[in-house]
Amino acid sequence: MDHAHRGTVTGSADSRDDRTRRTAARQRAAVLAYIGILTAAAAACVVLAAGGGSTDFPPALLAFIALAAIADLREIKLPLVGIVTLSFVPVLAALMVFGLWQAIIVATISGASAVWFTRDPRKVLFNVANYIVSTFLAGSLYLALLPEAAAFVDKIAPAFAYAIVDFLVNTALLAGVIALETHANALRLWTENYRWAWAGYLTGASLGLFIAWLYTVLGLPGLLIGLPPLYLIYYSYDVYVVRARERAAHSAEVAGFREELFESARLHEELRDAQLKVAAEIERARRIQVDLLPDTAPEIAGLQIASRISFLGEMGGDYYDFVPYSDGRLAIVCGDVMGKGLGAALLMAMARSVLHDAAETGGEPAEVLGQVNDALARDLEGQHLTYFLTLAYALWDPAASRLEIAGGGHTPVLQTTADATVEIASQGPMLGIRQGVPFAGETVPAQPGDLLAFYTDGITEARREGGEQFGIDRLSQTLLTHRDDPLPAILDTVWDAVEGFRCGAPPTDDATLLLVRLS
C-alpha cells in the first residue's frame, strides 16, 4: 500500500507537470500564430503601399533610416516583449517628405534594429511587423486627410492624427501579444502599461513636423539639428511608463494597506471582545472575592469592631474575616498573600476555605494555624511559583474576657493602651512553605478601652517619592493619638495620614486595617 500511495502522489505531480507543459505549449503556439498573422498583415501592407504610390528610393532616405536606427538605440524596456522604441518620429518625417512606401521602409529598418537588444527572432519579427502595420494604418489616414497640393501647414493636423492612430495600433498589438503569453486581460495590460504613452506620441508628432520642416528648409543638415530634440520623446515616454508602473505599484500598495487595515480592524475587534470577556470574568471574580469578605462586623459582648480594605487592582491578596465558634468564641483573622491580582486572590480564597475548615474543630489559634499551614503546603507543593500566606489569628472568649493571638509571618498586632502602643509580634513562620512547622499562641492582657490593630504591610510600607516608608511608628502614634475616637473615625484618620504621607505617589500594595476595641 505504501508503494501504491507513493505512486499515486507521483502520478498526480506528473499530471500537474504535464498540464503545465501543455498550457505553456498552447501559449507559445498562440503567440507564434499571433505573430504569423501580424507578419502576413505587414506583408500585405507593404504590397498595398507599393501599389498605391511611388516606390522610389531617394538617397536622402538613407539619412532618415540612419536617424531611425540611432533613435532606436535609446531603449525602452517593456514587460516580456523586451526592448521596443518609438521611432515613429523619423518615420512620420519620412512620410511627410517622401510618401507612405518610403515611411514603411524606414519603419522596417527601425523595427529590425531591435536585434541590438534581443536575439529572439520572434521578438524581432513582431517588432518589424508591428511597426509596418501601425505605420501603414496611420500613414493611410494621414494621406486621406491631406488635401491636394497641400502646403506644409496643411500637414499639421494629419500628422497628429497619424500619431494617435500609430499610438493606438502599436500599443494594442503589444498588449495583445503579452496577453496571449500571460493569459492576462489585454485591456487591463494596455491600461496599466501603455495608456500613458499618448503624451509621448503627441510630442513625437510635433518633433516629426519639426524634423520634416528642417529637412525641407535645410536639407540633410536639418536632420542633424533635429536629432537632439528627438531624444526628448523617449525621455517623455520613459516618464509616463514609469508613472504607469508606479501608479500600478501604488494601487497595489494601497490595496495591500487596505487589506492590512481591515485585518487590523478585525483583530482589534477580536481583541476588544476578548478583553471584554476577560474584564467580565475579572469583574465576576472580584465580586466573588468581595462576597467572601464579611459584610459587617459581628456583634459580640465585650468587643467593638471596624474594618477597611483597599485593593491595589480589581482583586488582591489581602484578607480579613470573622469566624464564630460553636461555643460562642469569635476568631478575628487578618492575612496577606504574597503577590497581587488574580493569583493572590485565588490563593486567598483557597486559604479562607482551609481556615474555616480548621476553625470548625474549635482549636486554639496555634492549632488552627498549624492545620492551615499543612493544608496549604500540601496543595502548593510542586508549584513553579512560590506562594505563601501571612496570617494573624486572634480568638476572643467573651465568657472569660480572654484574648489569645497567634501569628504566622504577619505584621505585628498593635495594642494601644491609655499611654502606649505595644507590638505583639508574630511568633510563627509564613504559611504554605512546608508542612510540620510549629506555631505558638499567647494570651494578651487587655483592659477595657484598649485598641487592637490588625493590618497588612500595604499601610506600613506605603512610600513617598524617595522611598521613605510610612512605618509602624507613624501608625502607632496615630492610633495612640486617636485611641478614644470612634472606630470609623480612626479608620478615616489612618487612611488620610497614609495618603498625606505619600504626597501623591501611587499606592504599591493592597491595604487592610481591622480595629478591635475592648469594652
Count CA atoms closer than 13 A to 292's CA, side-chain side.
Answer: 23
pTM score:
0.51
Record the cell numbers describing residue 294, joined without a space: 464579611
pLDDT tens, residue by residue, 121-175: 888 898 889 889 999 998 899 999 988 888 888 888 998 998 889 889 988 998 8
Q: What is the pLDDT of residue 264?
A: 83
Q: CA separation (Å) from 416 to 180, 302, 303, 341, 400? A: 98, 16, 15, 32, 21
Check pLDDT > 70 for residue 196.
no
> How far is it, in rounded angstroms, from Cα 166 to Cα 161?
9
Say what the pLDDT of residue 14 is.
60
Tell me what pLDDT residue 78 has.
40
Most trustworthy range by pLDDT among 111-120, 145-154, 187-196: 145-154
| pLDDT 10s digits, 23-45 | 777 888 888 898 899 999 999 99
Q: Give the model's confidence band at 442: pLDDT under 50 very low, under 70 low, under 90 confident, else very high.
A: very high
Quick one: pLDDT at residue 239? 59
Task: Place 277 in a pLDDT band, splitting at 50, 70 and 90.
Answer: confident
Name the more confident of 164 and 15.
164
pLDDT band at 487 (very low <50, low <70, confident <90, very high): very high
DSSP SS3 for 335: strand
Dihedral over Cα of 160, 164, 165, 166: its sign? positive
In this predicted structure, what is the pLDDT of residue 283?
64
- What are the strands, taking DSSP E only, across 287-365? 303-310, 318-324, 330-337
pLDDT of residue 273: 82
In this model, does residue 280 exceed pLDDT 90?
Answer: no
Which H or E run includes 518?
strand 511-518
Residue 290 has pLDDT above 90, yes or no: no
Q: In one letter, which amino acid is 455?
A: Y
Tell me the CATH class for 298-518.
alpha beta
Helix (H) or strand (E) holding 82: strand 82-84
Taking the C-alpha atoms of residue 169 and residue 172, their distance in angstroms, rounded to an integer, is 5
Instruction: Please state at what angle helix 156-182 crosses helix 88-97, rounded to 10 degrees.
Output: 140
| DSSP strand pairing (421-424 vs 413-416) | antiparallel
- Predicted confidence (pLDDT) per residue in 292-337, tens digit: 788 888 888 889 999 998 877 666 778 899 999 989 999 999 998 8
pLDDT at 50: 85
Overall average pLDDT of the 392-407 stretch: 93
Most distant CA pair in the chain, distance: 139
Q: 5: pLDDT confidence band, cut at 50, 70 and 90?
A: very low
Rounded to whole angstroms, how far apart are CA atoms 197 and 187?
15
Instruction: State the Cα–Cα distance between residues 484 and 436, nearest whole angstrom.
Output: 42
* Chain segment 64-83, per-residue pLDDT in tens: 888 777 665 444 444 443 43
Q: How far is CA 92 from CA 135, 207, 359, in A?
A: 8, 9, 109
The domain spans of the chain are 19-261, 298-518
- Give tens-digit pLDDT for 221-245: 777 676 666 555 555 555 555 666 6
- Please tell me whether residue 388 adopts helix, strand or coil conformation: coil
Q: What is the distance in angstroms between the CA of the first residue and the CA of the last residue of the chain?
A: 91
- List pLDDT tens digits, range 404-414: 999 999 999 99
Rounded CA separation 52/209 (Å): 23
**Going along 350-456, which residue ranges are E strands?**
389-397, 402-408, 413-416, 421-424, 441-444, 451-455
What is the model's pLDDT at position 66? Answer: 80
Q: Which helix (H) or strand (E) holds 62?
A: helix 61-72
Q: Inform me whether the pLDDT recorded for 393 exceeds 90.
A: yes
Residues 6+ apart with CB under 8 A from 401: 302
Give percent of the chain with pLDDT exceeding 70.
Answer: 83
Q: 256 versus 162: which is more confidently predicted?
A: 162
DSSP structural state of residue 339:
S
CB 349 within 8 A of CB 318: no
- Of the two residues 98 and 387, the one the predictor is more confident about is 98
**Percent of the chain residues topping a pLDDT of 90:** 29
Query: What is the model's pLDDT at position 274?
Result: 83
Per the structure block, which three cell numbers stand in for 34? 499571433
Spatial separation of the C-alpha atoms in residues 119 and 110, rounded to whole Å: 16
